[in-house]
Chain A
Amino acid sequence: MMFPQNSFSKPTVFNVKKRMKVVLILMLLAPLCITGRLFYLQLFQHEQYSSKAERTIYNYLAEDRLRGSIYDVQGRVLARSVRTHSCGIVKRYVKDQTATIDFLASTLGISKAQIYEKWKKNKNFFFVAKKIKPDVYMKLAAVRRSTLGQGMELTPEYERLHPFGKSAIDILGEANSKNVGLSGIEQMYNEELTQDISKKRAKRSARGEIIYDRHLKEKVKTGNVYLTIDQTAQFYTERALAKAVEQNNPDRAIALVQDPNTGYILAAASYPAKDGQSLAFQFTYEPGSTFKSLVVATALDSGTLSPDAQIDMSGRNWEVAKGFIVRDKQHQKDSLSLPEILQLSSNIGAGKIALEIGPKTLFSYFKAFGFGSKTDINFNGESKGSIAPYNTWTKVDLATKGYGYGVAVTPIQLITAYSAIANGGTLMQPHLVDRIEYANGKVDKKAKPIKIRRVISKTTAQTMREFLQTVVEVGSGKRAKIKGYNVAGKTGTAEKLDKEGGYGKRNHVVSFCGMVPATNPQFTILVILDNPAKYAFGSTAAAPVFKEIAEPLLVLKAVAPDQTDFE
Chain B
Amino acid sequence: MRKQLLLGLLIFCVWAFIITFIHINVVRSGRIVSQLQREADIKEARNQYEELEIARLSGPEIITTFASEKLGLVQIKPHEVFVLEDK
- Residues in chain A within 8 A of chain B (CB atoms): 28, 31-32, 35-36, 38-39, 42-43, 76-77, 80, 82-84, 133-135, 137-138, 141, 156, 161, 163-164, 167, 211-214, 231-232, 235-236, 482-485, 551-552, 554-555, 558-561, 566
Contacts and interface: CB of A to CB of B under 8 A. Distances in A.
Nearest to A24: B6
B85 to A, nearest CB: 9
Contacts of B37: 214
13 contacts: A35-B20, A36-B16, A42-B19, A82-B49, A137-B42, A163-B52, A164-B55, A211-B31, A212-B34, A212-B38, A483-B79, A552-B75, A552-B78
Contacts of B38: 141, 212
Contacts of B19: 39, 42-43
A84 B37 CA distance: 15
A177 to B, nearest CB: 14
Contacts of A482: 78-79
B81 A555 contact: yes
Contact of A164 (B33, B46, B61): B61
Contact of A214 (B6, B9, B34): B34
B67 interface: no
B24 A83 contact: no
Nearest to A555: B78
Given A163-B56, A164-B59, A483 B48 contact: no
B76 A555 contact: yes
Interface bracket on B: 35 or more
Given A164-B61, A211-B34, A555-B76, A76 B48 contact: no
B29 to A, nearest CB: 13
Interface of B: 6, 9-10, 13, 16-17, 19-20, 23-24, 31, 33-34, 37-38, 41-46, 48-49, 51-53, 55-56, 59-61, 64, 75-79, 81, 83
A38 B20 contact: yes
B59 A163 contact: yes
A132 B46 CA distance: 11
Nearest to B17: A35
Given A232-B60, A483-B77, A552-B75, A77 B55 contact: yes
